[in-house]
Structure 1
Amino acid sequence: MKFLLNLYLNAAALPGQEFDHEQFLAAAGQAGELISGHVFADPSISAVVRVRDNVVTVTEGPYLPTQDHVAGQYLVDCENRERAVELACLISSGEIVGVEVRPLMDSAGMEM
């Protein structure tokens, strides 16, 4: 099963904050469960696209004004949700306020 691990960072953290996830990377890498990982740019340079009643609007900046934002993600392929949660527990950084473990679905709505 594939899971997306979204890393939430406190907005007060310094831009370009480096993450120390050696335990996670070692465990997921050695088990062959790590597919990919990405660090996101600061949300202040993002854009949000909305379509309502066939009207497109583009708003500059983050989706919602909040203290926390998604700062990065890992894609893992694990046997089950419990293993994905176990790997998420290995992601440690003083700036990370939480890790969301979300299963991926295919276009038919089935877990991948």
Structure 2
Amino acid sequence: MKYLILIHSNEASRQAWEGLSQEQRSDLGRGHLALRELLAESGELIVSEGLVDPSHAKRVRVRDGETIATDGPFAEVKEHLAGFYLIECDSMERAVELAAKAPDAAWGEVEVRPIFDLNGIEF
């Protein structure tokens, strides 16, 4: 089964990041590289990426056939997606075990969400 490990950021985690020394920030980055390597070696990694700040994002909607793109930042958002790991493993328990290895879990939270499997569904 596929799972998405979501790494969220918010004001508190941003303040925590800003309070880290350069060495601590480097350790966090190395922790993500180590997790990515572990997942790749085990065959459980599908893809992993970090995301840039939401101020560089666009929100897109279509109304009456017209595409409308709005620039960030989005003041109403208290939390944003900072990165993710898309994995494939045997169980939610294993996905949680892997998510606990994300460096962000030690000072914030990460979310594990199963991927909705569309195979076999007729539309």
TM-score relative to the length of structure 2: 0.68
Q: Say whether 1:72 aligns with 2:66.
A: no
For 2:108, the equivalent position in structure 1 comes to: 97
More strand by proportion, 1 or 2? 1
Aligned length: 108
More helix by proportion, 1 or 2? 2
How has the CA–CA distance of structure 1 residues 37 and 50 changed in structure 2, closer, same or farther, with 3 Å as cutoff? same
For 1:9, the equivalent position in structure 2 comes to: 9
For 2:47, the equivalent position in structure 1 comes to: 36
Give ranges in structure 2 of 5+ residues lacking alignment: 19-24
Question: Which protein is bigger by CA-based radius of gyration?
Answer: 2
TM-score relative to the length of structure 1: 0.73
**1:27/1:87 contact within 8 Å kept:** no
CA drift of 1:53 comes to 4.5
Give ranges in structure 1 of 5+ residues lacking alignment: none
Identity of aligned residues (%): 37
